[in-house]
């Protein structure tokens, strides 16, 4: 599905923001350097001082932190059209790692180019600001998820959220989405052991809510999954701001 790098960004931004033709044109003219990056590659490190931000054109990536004893917590999952290190435009030192979950096409955008775009097109600046606010809203929900929800609710919530986010960018089909995630990565997203996550997935399958294949999750009963996950999609703020 990888088109031009800016197409992924325009698709995402125009779903959640109101941008006019000149805004879109300005985004399309952004100088972006595309790179194909293998899976499991840490492309921005904790402590780095980046001079560019990184758009996911195709594939999945995640933010994570490691505890001193080597336990990893995945903090967020990122999908095409997102710029997970957009904050490095204003926060100059990275405070977490960014890693590809799958093989990705990444689009590197120089901070100067983003600053210039923001000054020239205030609508685009607002849209990018709004994206970081939605990102923060997703984090708040993630904290509730790993902090307060039992495994079954936690797992169902994550699947329901990913479905909604991927549906918005046209990456779902008939209740299914592709997410090539390993057992360990899913466990690190949920803050649980691989064994407990497998057990929980087995229960969700047994109850007829989901089916899983190697890289595909099928939500057989989407509203059942949302109910099991106590999922309310308001926090995703998917409608354009007025």
Residues that bind other proteins (CB under 8 A): 150-152, 183, 192-196, 198-199, 201-203, 206
Whole-angstrom Cα Rg for the chain: 18
As a whole number of angstroms, the distance between CA 138 and CA 116 comes to 28
Nearer to other proteins by Cβ, of 76 and 198: the residue is 198
Q: In what order do the strands lie in the sheet with 52-58?
A: 32-37, 104-110, 52-58
Nearer to other proteins by Cβ, of 110 and 152: the residue is 152
Q: What is the dihedral of CA 122, 124, 129, 135, to 10 degrees?
A: 170
Q: Which residues pair with 32 in a beta bridge?
A: 109
CB of 151 vs other proteins, minimal distance in Å: 6
CB of 191 vs other proteins, minimal distance in Å: 10
CB of 200 vs other proteins, minimal distance in Å: 9
Nearer to other proteins by Cβ, of 57 and 156: the residue is 156
Nearer to other proteins by Cβ, of 205 and 237: the residue is 205
Q: Which helix (H) or strand (E) holds 76?
A: strand 72-78
**Tokens 């499991």 map to which residue?**
40
CB of 68 vs other proteins, minimal distance in Å: 18
């Amino acid at each position: 599905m990888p088109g031009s790098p800016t197409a992924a960004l325009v698709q995402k931004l125009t779903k959640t923001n109101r941008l006019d033709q000149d805004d879109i044109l300005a985004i399309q003219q952004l100088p972006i350097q595309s790179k194909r990056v293998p899976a499991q590659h840490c492309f921005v490190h904790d402590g780095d001082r980046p001079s560019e931000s990184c758009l996911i054109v195709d594939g999945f990536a995640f933010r994570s932190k490691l505890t001193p004893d080597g336990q990893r917590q995945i903090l967020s999952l990122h999908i095409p059209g997102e710029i997970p290190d957009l904050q490095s435009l204003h926060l100059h030192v990275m405070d977490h790692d960014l890693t590809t979950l799958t093989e990705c096409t990444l689009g590197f955008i120089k901070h100067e180019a983003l600053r210039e775009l923001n000054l020239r097109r205030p609508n685009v600046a607002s849209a990018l600001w709004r994206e970081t606010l939605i990102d923060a809203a997703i984090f708040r929900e993630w904290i509730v998820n790993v902090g307060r929800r039992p495994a079954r609710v936690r797992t169902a919530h994550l699947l329901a959220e990913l479905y909604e986010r991927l549906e918005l960018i046209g990456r779902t089909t008939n209740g299914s989405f592709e997410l090539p995630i390993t057992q360990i990565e899913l466990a690190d997203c949920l803050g649980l052991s691989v064994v407990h996550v497998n057990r929980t997935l087995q229960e969700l399958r047994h109850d007829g809510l989901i089916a899983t294949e190697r890289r595909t999750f099928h939500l057989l009963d989407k509203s059942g999954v949302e109910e099991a996950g106590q999922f309310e999609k308001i926090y995703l703020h998917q409608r354009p701001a007025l």
